[in-house]
Amino acid sequence: MNELEFCLKLKIEASVLAVWIEQGWLVPDSTGFEQQFREADVARGQLILEMTRDMGVNEAGVDLVMELVDQLHSLRGTMQDLMAAIGQQDEETRFKILQSLDRHG
């Protein structure tokens, strides 16, 4: 969806969206003729909106939260890959990994 559709969907002013993009909280797809927003961006926008409107988080706070949320999801993605990879190993290897975790844990 384009900028207008995005603003209508979230019921926000274009100037608010401009701030979000400038802050780097949203990174629309700019490869085409006009900026395109994904469903993920809508969900992301809802989170930003809830924080600023309902939860009393100020701009600096949102900045911090989005940075950490992104880090968290990247870590979770890596963690999922790792666990999937471990899950594909034979039982002996998985047992060894488990043992190593026990020892260091």
Partner 1 sequence: MSRDPYDILGVKRDATQKDIQRAFRKLAKKHHPDLNPGDRPSEERFKQISTAYELLSDEQKRARFDRGEIDMEGAEQAPRHYYREYASASRPGGPYHNSASFADFGEAEDPLSAFFSHRVHDDHFHLAGEDRYFSMTVDFLDAVNGAKTQVRLPNGTPLDVQIPAGTHDGQTLRLPGKGGPGMGGGPAGDAFIDVHVKPHRFFQRDGDDIRLDLPISLDEAVLGAKIRVPTPTGAVTLTVPSHSNSGKILRLKGKGVPKRGGGRGDLFVTLKIVLPDKADPRLTAFMKEWAETSKQDPRKGMGLP
Residues that bind partner 1 (CB under 8 A): 27, 29, 38-40, 42-44, 46-47, 50, 54-56, 65, 67, 69-78, 80-82, 85
Select 7 or 45, whichever has its Cβ closest to partner 1. 45
Retrieve residue 80's tokens.
């999922």
Task: Return the number of the residue (54 or 90) whose C-beta is nearest partner 1.
Answer: 54
Helix pair 59-87, 39-49: axis angle to 10 deg: 130
Q: Max CA-CA distance within the chain?
A: 58
- Least distance from partner 1 to the Cβ atom of residue 70, Å: 4
At closest approach, how far in Å is the CB of 54 from partner 1?
A: 7
CB 17 within 8 A of CB 48: no
Do residues 37 and 6 make contact, with C-beta atoms less than 8 angstroms apart? yes
Question: Shortest Cβ distance from residue 23 to partner 1 (Å)?
Answer: 13
